[in-house]
Structure 1
Amino acid sequence: MFDRVLGIPAHPLYIHAAVVLVPLLVLVAVLYAIWPASRRHIRWPLVAFALAAPGAVFFAKESGETFSGNRSFQSAELKAAIAQHEDYANMLTLFVVVLAVVALVMAFMLPVTAGARARIKAPAPAHWLLSVVAVVLAALSAYYVYRTGDSGAHMVWSGF
């Protein structure tokens, strides 16, 4: 499952889902955190992206680990580049999973309209803290999805 899809290496296929879903999760989480008027419209997309993005990152990471075992990637220089790419992917996985958990809590703790009651009861300072944490995690996730993709693209386009 992580090695090949229809005879093609799986990693180049799976990364596209992560490259699309992580920025969408970042965008929707930040909007939900800082723009209360948007909440009633984007609550369910936030939940969907919070569930899908970590899965996409997991598939991309696991297929990348399988892909890196290829006999063609055994030079010391390439192994160092792959190790750096894996380090970025590990950080991305961590931040995306934590962002997804925070996004799910946020979806049910922050009220969708001014008069609505949230399903998770919490004092107002907890709402602000959760919003700040979500924005910070979104920024870190965006940074690491960029760094991971950029390091992988440099390996591909440098003619590894």
Structure 2
Amino acid sequence: MFREVNGLPLHVLVIHAVVVLVPLLALLSVAYGVLPRWRSRLDWAVAGLAVVTPIATFVAKESGEAFEEAQRQRGLGGEFLRKIEEHSEYGDTLFWFTIGLAVAALLLLLVTSGLTRVRSLPRWLAQVLTAVVVVLAVFALVYVFLAGDSGAEVVWGGTL
């Protein structure tokens, strides 16, 4: 299921979505948290990204594992597999940071939405969630860079 689309490895196609969506989720979630005036303009974008980005990251992770297995079946090994495993570890970590960022962003949206049931929550909760979003956004940006850079090194660094 996660192997190919029209003869092209799915991983090669979907990573481009991840490279765009993860930074967008990170930056817009942080902007939503630290710029209250922009919240009404960013809320739907943050909500949509918080749903779509983890899905894209999951598909990238699973398609990467299928691509790795296909390379193993072709008999590639040694340095290539070591670099692929490093890349895979970055991708796995990125997936979990993306899930955390998405959940924190959705909770921040809920807490700051102005619903009457939510108004009874302490004011500091939005500030704490904003801090959590900022920290997770930084980690997500770092790991999207590490995963992308290590993947590019495998492809363009003469290993493949």
Name the TM-score, length of structure 1 as normaliser.
0.92
Q: Which residue of 1 aligns with 2:103?
A: 101
Q: Which residue of 2 aligns with 1:134?
A: 133
Q: Which residue of 1 aligns with 2:65?
A: 65
Cα distance between partner residues in 2 of 1:92 and 1:141: 6
Cα distance between partner residues in 2 of 1:136 and 1:118: 29
Cα distance between partner residues in 2 of 1:25 and 1:126: 20
Shift of 1:158: 1.5
Q: Which residue of 2 aligns with 1:54?
A: 54
Share of identical aligned residues, percent? Answer: 40
Cα distance between partner residues in 1 of 2:103 and 2:75: 35
Q: Structure 1 runs of 4+ off > 2 angstroms?
A: 71-74, 116-121
| CA RMSD, Structure 1 to Structure 2 (Å) | 1.4
Letter in 1 for 2:18: A
> In the comparison of the two structures, how many residue pairs are matched?
156
Cα distance between partner residues in 2 of 1:83 and 1:136: 26
Query: SS at 1:68's partner residue?
Result: helix
Cα distance between partner residues in 1 of 2:99 and 2:75: 29
Q: Which residue of 2 aligns with 1:23?
A: 23
Q: Is the 8 A contact 1:109 1:119 kept in 2?
A: no
Query: SS at 1:138's partner residue?
Result: helix
Cα distance between partner residues in 2 of 1:119 and 1:52: 27
Letter in 2 for 1:45: A
Q: Which residue of 2 aligns with 1:155?
A: 154
Q: Which residue of 2 aligns with 1:146?
A: 145
Q: Which of 115, 118, 130 is 1:120 aligned to?
A: 118
Query: SS at 2:118's partner residue?
Result: coil
Alpha carbons of 1:118 and 1:60: their partners in 2 closer, same or farther (altered >3 Å)? farther
Alpha carbons of 1:75 and 1:126: their partners in 2 closer, same or farther (altered >3 Å)? same
Shift of 1:120: 2.9
Name the TM-score, length of structure 2 as normaliser.
0.92
Structure 2 unaligned runs (5+)? none
Q: Which residue of 2 aligns with 1:42?
A: 42
Q: Deviations over 1:136-157 (max 9, x none)?
A: 0000001000100000001100
Q: Deviations over 1:42-67 (max 9, x none)?
A: 00000000000000000100000000
Alpha carbons of 1:9 and 1:51: their partners in 2 closer, same or farther (altered >3 Å)? same
Cα distance between partner residues in 1 of 2:142 and 2:88: 15
Q: Deviations over 1:25-46 (max 9, x none)?
A: 0111010011000100000000
Shift of 1:117: 4.7
